């Protein structure tokens, strides 16, 4: 197991470097640059700017310099647009915002989704089952950028219960709508996954054995069925986190939250090379680590799984 | 011996793709019930029709598709609006009207979904959005199907080193935070023309969605590869390409269709949120995502600008999902539902 | 203690399943008894209804789509079908235990063996952790698991098929039940292991005096293990007799066919006998005898009228229009 973890971590590093390199290449290939505005700059000014930021050097030198400072000091440089602020600082500042919304959203999705899905499985074909699955279907079908504003419309602008947007620190009521918006689709997905997983497990032979042993239905479900039934949810966590990321981007835009996603979009629009690379690298690392955690959790929970 | 081989050669190919299916037609199943000779597809179709929700979904999807295709032309004929028509001749009309309302607040058939801030007819724009979203969704899925199936089938069939390398590549690509890269791609290479932007969108979305398709097909091919009908085909001298594309691939159609039904809504959502963020479809073209983005600006005063595109999109995705569920159930009732 | 010394008495039990193709009469009006300390064998092909019979006894028939529509199951004098769910649960595992065909899927892969065993006694015998564990290890030793103390904390997948079935037996007998129902316990195992498991069941039965119902499609298994045999086909009992009587003087064409199908290693090389045809579609049974189409003795009456349950002997019954003839042919003396 340990060897497996170490091997995965080792593979992560080159993958990140590949990701960074690809991003770097894309940025360099793109037309336009971070300093151009509406009117073209006078040639002399442009030359000075290019010299200052080392953009006049040959590409392999630029690439080398960038990669070296990343690998050596984990230094992603200074933002080109946000004067004087190092990329690392910006990431440190915006990360808690995204993390708070993202993690809360997923936690909510897990709690509600697993509960609803389990009950739907236990009461298969009842009104509860049909109703909750229909609702889940709705959750999957309504895009978050539609749901969000509608929630704002109802709860902020009509009912005045909640603030419409902006970051209010943690914890605050400002969190409610973004978290709800982000979590909706995952709640729905997890509910369906849980239901499917539970139904399958409840049909299996070892549940029949458990019942033949005289266990109460409650014990059968909680002690025997739940473990196996939740497996699909666990494996879903990996891809879910990837999607969560993109969802965060949209939600941060809608609710004007100063999170990683928002900064990323801005950086892309601004051609802010160091910031783009920094955020991309950070996201890639997080994703890979999270996937590793999920794999470890899976191995821990299913004794049949053995990694070499 | 050689001549016999040649004769059988043709026969085999002819019943090739159906061979795995024909087994069920020809041999009675051991439970003592005799299988009536239906093909896999007819059986699946029957089951699909029994599922009322799926049928409703199918109907809605068909309606939406047809309206998107003919709608804008119809509207142009009847009312004279195109999706980007701005009535700049009359300042009274260049503002946002609620549904079914005219410039003086009277009831009017002209704009069932109202207008946006520049006076453009919302219905026409929503329908155009439908055109684009469905177009991107279906075409991208189709393209990724082509790439994914070929890639996966070849990898699975050839096996060995080639398979290893091919799948390693897929793994690495898979672990990239692709949406991030897609956003970078799209923001870097903004095209001048809306058509150009659409093509970029295709490339960006399609270049990532083929991965899972490839994986699925490879898995299927791997398990089918050693079944008897392949050995039989090989024994009679069928060429490898033929085996891959005429025999193996059709047998993977089941899970493929299932995956495709999952992918189309996913791609539509991806396109929508990319357009929402401003990286996708550009003005004057309208996609549901960009309409929503515009609509949010004025949500407090003109909520219909968001609600109509939003609800239409939700409805379409809803129906696609039900249809997808129904197809999954019909093609393989044992399969795990997600 | 019981009525007529019968531990179990099944009367007119019918269990039907509602399927897309119609109502499947998996078990149709069957009756049999089991005396205390006896072993009863239930033999039949797949789909004959033998497993469903046993699931019906302990009310584990999946519902939907299955339902016990009529009948009585007297266990120690009380009708199990009338008891509340609570009451039946108390009997399951404690007084009637069941082991299933495939030990690989019948054990919870996510739980340690020890846990699965301890669950039984904690629930039914009120053991605490320590007692349950000690008891579990004792049971594992009894069924022949080597190094029981150490292996108790393993997971099912770490055992071989034969070992797993032993674990199932250990689990089933933990609370010393009065009746053990073994549903094809050896079908999924290697032949050599089969013999071991059957020996084990025999030995344990001798020790504890448990009555056993043994379900199988293998006549060889039945021959060595049982006192009485029931032959089932298409949800009905076709023949019922003491084991030796059934094998030497069968009174039913189906049974005869089954006996003939067992390959004789000493016979000359010839064609292997197989009962012609396939089992009927239990959802669409034609009138008359379900075996009519495949039977060597078929006459017109067989196709129109349902055969009577004929008593051939003190303890020997057969469902056939020509039971007496078949019995005489086999060398039996009618009563």
Per-residue pLDDT averaged across B222-249, rounded? 71
Decide if B277 and A253 are in contact by the 8 Å CB cutoff.
yes
In B, residues 271-290, which contact A (CB 8 Å cutoff)?
Answer: 272-273, 276-278, 289
Contact call for residues C187 and C218 (beta carbons, < 8 A): yes
**According to the model, what pLDDT value does residue A126 have?**
84
Does residue B296 have a cis peptide bond before it, meaning omega lies within 30 degrees of 0? no
Interface of C with A in 206-245 (CB under 8 A): none
Would you call C119 an interface residue with chain A, using a CB distance cutoff of 8 Å? yes
**pLDDT score, position A211:** 92
Using the 8-state DSSP alphabet, how is residue C276 labeled? S
Query: Do the chains contact at A214 and C157, CB–CB below 8 Å?
Result: no
pLDDT at B25 > cutoff 70: no
Residue of B nearest to A15 (CA): B172
Q: Is the pLDDT of residue B36 over 60?
A: no
Q: Is C123 in Cβ contact with A214 (below 8 Å)?
A: yes
Helix (H, G, I), strand (E, B) or coil at C287: coil
- According to the model, what pLDDT value does residue B16 have? 26
Nearest CA in chain C to A125: C64
Task: Determine the pLDDT at residue A170.
Answer: 67
How many angstroms separate the CA atoms of B218 and B224, rounded?
10
Residue-level pLDDT at B194: 67
Evaluate if residue B14 carries a pLDDT over 50. no
Contacts of B32 in chain C (CB under 8 A): 47, 278-282
Neighbours of chain C (3+ CB pairs under 8 A): A, B
User: Residue B9: its pLDDT value, please?
Assistant: 29
pLDDT band, residue B19 (cuts 50/70/90):
very low
Which residue in the block uniquely carries the two structure tokens 């539509």?
A: B268
pLDDT-based confidence at residue B247 (cuts at 50, 70, 90): low
SS (H, E, C) chain A: CHHHHHHHHHHHHHHHHHHHHHHHHHHHHCCCCCCCCCCCCCHHHHHHHHHHCCCCCCHHHHHHHHHHHHHHHCCCCECCCCCCCEHHHHHHHHHHHHHHHHHHHHHHHHHHHHHHHHHHHHCCCCHHHHHHHHHHHHHHHCCHHHHHHHHHHHHHHHCCCCCCCCCCCCCCHHHHHHHHHHHHHHHHHHHHHHHHHHHHHHCCHHHHHHHHCCCCHHHHHHHHHHHHHCHHHHHHHHHHHHHHHHHHHHHHHHHCCCCHHHHHHHHHHHCCHHHHHHHHHHHHHHHHHHHHHHHHHHHHHCCCCCCC
pLDDT at A304: 75
Q: Which residues of B touch A245 (CB under 8 A)?
A: 177, 179-180
pTM metric for this prediction: 0.79
- Tokens (6 digits) for B264: 């189309």
Task: Write the residue in A142, A149, A246 that is nearest to B299 by C-beta.
Answer: A149
B175 and A291: CB-CB below 8 Å? Answer: yes
Asked if pLDDT for residue A205 goes beyond 50, the answer is yes
Pick the residue from chain A with its C-alpha nearest to B320: A141
Q: Is B67 exposed, middle or buried (0-12, 13-18, 19+ CB in 10 A)?
A: middle
pLDDT tens for each residue of B45-101: 777 777 777 888 888 888 888 888 888 787 777 777 777 777 777 777 777 777 777
Band (pLDDT 50/70/90 cuts) for residue B191 is low
What is the DSSP pairing of strand C317-319 with strand C309-311? antiparallel
Within 8 A of A27 by CB-CB distance, chain B residues are 184, 188
pLDDT at position C300 is 85
Strands C228-233 and C236-242: antiparallel
Question: Can you tell me whether residue B104 is helix, strand or coil?
Answer: coil
DSSP letter (8 states) at residue C27:
E
Chain A CB within 8 Å of residue C80 CB: no
Taking every pair of Cα atoms in chain C, the longest distance, rounded to a whole number of angstroms, is 67
- Which two tokens mark C215? 């379900």
Q: Lowest-pLDDT range, A82-91, A152-161, B35-44?
A: B35-44
Q: What is the pLDDT of residue A161?
A: 75
Of the candidates A30, A195, A242, the beta carbon closest to that of B177 is on: A242
B 296-315 residues with CB < 8 A to A: 296, 299-300, 303, 306-307, 309-311, 313-315
Q: Using the beta-carbon criterion (under 8 Å), do A146 and B306 form an inter-chain contact?
A: yes
Q: Which residues on neighbouring strands pair with residue B160, listed in sequence order?
A: none
Q: Report the SS3 class of residue C134.
A: helix
Residue written as token pair 């039984």:
C120
Q: Quick check: B176 and A19 CB within 8 A?
A: yes
**Quick check: B32 contacting C, CB < 8 Å?**
yes
Residue contact C155–A212, C-beta within 8 A: no
Task: Provide the shortest C-alpha distance from residue C220 to chain B (in Å).
Answer: 23
Query: Using an 8 Å Cβ cutoff, are C109 and A304 in contact?
Result: yes
A210 touches chain C (CB under 8 A): yes
What mean pLDDT is predicted for residues A249-264?
A: 87
Chain C CB contacts of A305 under 8 Å are none
| Nearest CA-CA partner of A228 in A198, A250, A271, A185 | A198
The Cα A117–Cα A194 span in angstroms is: 5
How near does any CA of chain A get to the CA of B289, in Å?
8
pLDDT at C266: 73
User: How far is the C-alpha of A144 from the C-alpha of A180, rounded, in Å?
Assistant: 10
ipTM for this prediction: 0.85
> Which has more confidence, B21 or A216?
A216
CB contact under 8 A, A196 and B187: no
The whole-number pLDDT of residue C136 equals 92
Q: Of B282, C53, A218, B242, which Cα lies nearest the Cα of B291?
A: B282
Cis check for the bond before B289: say yes or no (omega within 30 of 0): no
| Residues of chain B neighbouring C283 (CB-CB closer than 8 A) | 33
- Contact between C280 and B32 using a beta-carbon 8 Å cutoff: yes
C69 touches chain A (CB under 8 A): no
C278 contacts B28? CB cut-off 8 A: yes
Contacts of A142 in chain B (CB under 8 A): 310, 314, 317
pLDDT per residue as tens, chain C (335 positions): 445 678 888 999 999 988 877 788 888 889 999 988 899 999 988 778 888 998 999 888 887 788 888 999 999 888 988 888 889 999 998 899 999 988 888 999 888 999 999 999 998 988 899 999 999 999 999 888 888 888 889 899 888 888 899 999 999 999 989 999 999 988 888 888 888 888 888 888 888 889 999 998 888 888 888 999 999 998 899 999 999 988 888 888 888 888 888 777 776 766 777 777 777 777 777 888 888 888 888 888 888 888 888 888 888 889 888 888 888 888 877 77
Residue C213, pLDDT score: 93
With an 8 Å Cβ cutoff, are C46 and B34 in contact? Answer: no
DSSP 8-state assignment for residue B248:
I
Top pLDDT among C304 and B177 is at C304
Residues in chain B within 8 Å Cβ distance of A140: 317, 321
3-state secondary structure of B13: helix
Whether residues A302 and C110 touch (CB distance < 8 A) is answered with yes
Residue B244 has pLDDT above 70, yes or no: no
Number of cross-chain residue pairs from B and C with Cβ atoms under 8 Å apart: 16
How far CA A115 is from CA of A187, A210, A229, B48, C244, in Å, comes to 10, 22, 12, 30, 57
Does B31 contact C at CB distance below 8 Å? yes
Chain C residues whose CB is inside 8 A of the B30 CB are 46, 278
Q: What is the pLDDT of residue B26?
A: 26
């Amino acid at each position: 197991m340990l060897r497996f973890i170490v091997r995965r971590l080792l593979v992560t590093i080159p993958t990140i470097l590949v990701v960074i390199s690809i991003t770097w290449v894309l940025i360099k290939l793109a037309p336009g640059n971070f300093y151009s505005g509406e009117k073209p700059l006078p040639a002399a000014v442009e030359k000075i700017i290019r010299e200052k930021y080392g953009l006049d050097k040959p590409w392999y030198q630029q690439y080398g310099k960038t990669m070296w400072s990343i690998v050596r000091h984990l230094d992603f440089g200074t933002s080109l647009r946000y004067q004087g602020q190092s990329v690392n600082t910006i990431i440190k500042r915006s990360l808690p915002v995204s993390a708070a919304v993202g993690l809360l959203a997923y936690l909510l999705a897990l709690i509600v989704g697993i509960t609803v899905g389990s009950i739907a499985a236990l009461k298969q074909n009842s009104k509860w089952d049909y109703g909750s699955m229909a609702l889940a279907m709705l959750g999957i079908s309504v895009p978050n950028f539609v749901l969000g504003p509608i929630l704002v419309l109802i709860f902020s602008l009509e009912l005045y219960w909640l603030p419409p947007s902006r970051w209010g620190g943690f914890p605050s009521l400002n969190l409610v709508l973004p978290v709800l918006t982000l979590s909706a689709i995952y709640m729905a997905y997890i509910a369906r996954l849980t239901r499917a997983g539970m139904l399958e497990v409840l049909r299996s032979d070892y549940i029949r054995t458990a019942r033949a042993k005289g266990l109460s239905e409650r014990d059968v479900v909680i002690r025997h069925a739940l473990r196996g039934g939740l497996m699909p949810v666990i494996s879903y966590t990996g891809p879910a986190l990837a999607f969560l990321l993109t969802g965060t981007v949209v939600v941060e835009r809608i609710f004007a939250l100063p999170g990683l996603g928002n900064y990323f979009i801005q950086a892309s629009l601004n051609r802010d090379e160091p910031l783009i690379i920094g955020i991309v690298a950070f996201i890639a690392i997080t994703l890979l680590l999270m996937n590793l955690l999920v794999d470890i959790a899976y191995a821990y929970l299913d004794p049949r799984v053995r990694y070499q | 011996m050689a001549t016999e081989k040649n004769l059988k050669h043709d026969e085999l190919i002819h019943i090739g793709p159906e061979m795995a299916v024909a087994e069920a037609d020809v041999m009675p199943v051991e439970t003592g019930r005799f299988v009536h000779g239906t093909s896999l597809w007819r059986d699946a179709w029957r089951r699909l029709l029994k599922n009322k929700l799926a049928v409703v979904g199918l109907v809605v999807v068909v309606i939406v598709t047809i309206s998107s295709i003919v709608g804008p032309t119809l509207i142009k004929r009847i009312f004279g609006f195109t999706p980007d028509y701005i009535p700049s001749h009359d300042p009274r009309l260049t503002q946002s009207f609620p549904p079914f309302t005219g410039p003086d607040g009277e009831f009017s058939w002209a704009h069932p979904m109202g207008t946006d801030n520049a006076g453009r007819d919302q219905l026409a724009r929503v329908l155009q959005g439908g055109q684009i979203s469905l177009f991107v969704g279906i075409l991208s899925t189709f393209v990724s199907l082509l790439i994914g199936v070929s890639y996966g089938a070849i990898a699975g069939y050839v096996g060995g080193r080639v398979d290893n390398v091919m799948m390693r590549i897929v793994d690495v690509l898979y672990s990239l935070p692709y949406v991030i890269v897609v956003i970078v791609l799209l923001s870097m290479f903004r095209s001048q023309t809306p058509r150009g932007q659409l093509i970029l969108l295709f490339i960006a979305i399609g270049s990532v969605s083929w991965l899972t398709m490839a994986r699925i097909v490879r898995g299927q091919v791997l398990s089918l590869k050693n079944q008897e009908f392949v050995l039989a085909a090989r024994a009679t001298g069928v060429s490898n390409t033929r085996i891959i594309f005429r025999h193996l691939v059709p047998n993977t159609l089941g899970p493929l269709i299932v995956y495709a039904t999952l992918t189309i809504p996913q791609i539509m959502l991806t396109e929508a949120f990319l357009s929402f963020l401003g990286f996708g479809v550009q003005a004057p073209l309208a996609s549901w995502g960009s309409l929503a983005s515009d609509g949010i600006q004025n949500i407090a005063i003109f909520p219909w600008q968001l609600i109509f595109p939003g609800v239409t999109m939700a409805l379409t995705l809803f129906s696609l999902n039900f249809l997808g569920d129904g197809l999954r159930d019909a093609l393989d009732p044992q399969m795990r539902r997600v | 203690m019981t009525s007529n010394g019968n531990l179990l008495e099944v009367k007119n039990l019918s269990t039907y399943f509602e399927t897309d193709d119609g109502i499947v009469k998996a078990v149709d009006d069957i009756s049999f008894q089991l005396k205390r300390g006896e072993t009863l064998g239930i033999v039949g092909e797949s789909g004959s209804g033998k497993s469903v019979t046993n699931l019906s006894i302990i009310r584990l028939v999946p519902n939907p789509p299955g339902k016990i529509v009529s009948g009585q199951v007297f266990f120690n004098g009380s009708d199990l079908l009338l008891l509340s769910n609570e009451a039946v649960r108390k009997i399951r595992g404690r007084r009637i235990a069941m082991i299933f065909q495939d030990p690989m899927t019948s054990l919870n892969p996510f739980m340690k063996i020890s846990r699965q065993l301890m669950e039984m006694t904690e629930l039914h015998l009120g053991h605490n952790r320590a007692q349950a564990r000690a008891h579990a290890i004792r049971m594992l030793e009894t069924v022949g698991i080597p190094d029981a103390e150490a292996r108790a904390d393993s997971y099912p997948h770490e055992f071989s098929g034969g070992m797993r079935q032993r674990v199932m037996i250990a689990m089933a007998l933990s609370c010393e039940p009065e009746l053990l129902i073994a549903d094809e316990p050896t079908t999924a195992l290697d032949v050599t292991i089969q013999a071991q498991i059957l020996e084990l069941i025999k030995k344990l039965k001798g020790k504890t005096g448990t009555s056993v119902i043994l379900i199988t499609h293998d006549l060889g298994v039945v021959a060595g293990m049982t006192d009485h045999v029931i032959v089932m086909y298409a949800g009905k009992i076709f023949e019922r007799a003491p084991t030796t009587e059934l094998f030497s003087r069968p009174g039913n064409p189906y049974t005869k066919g089954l006996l003939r199908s067992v390959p004789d290693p000493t016979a000359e090389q010839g064609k292997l006998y197989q009962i012609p045809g396939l089992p009927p579609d239990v959802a669409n049974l034609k009138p008359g005898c379900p075996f009519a189409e495949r039977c060597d003795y078929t006459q017109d009456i067989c196709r129109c009228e349902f055969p009577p349950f004929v008593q051939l002997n003190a303890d020997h019954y057969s469902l056939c229009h020509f039971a007496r003839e078949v019995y005489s042919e086999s060398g039996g003396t009618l009563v």
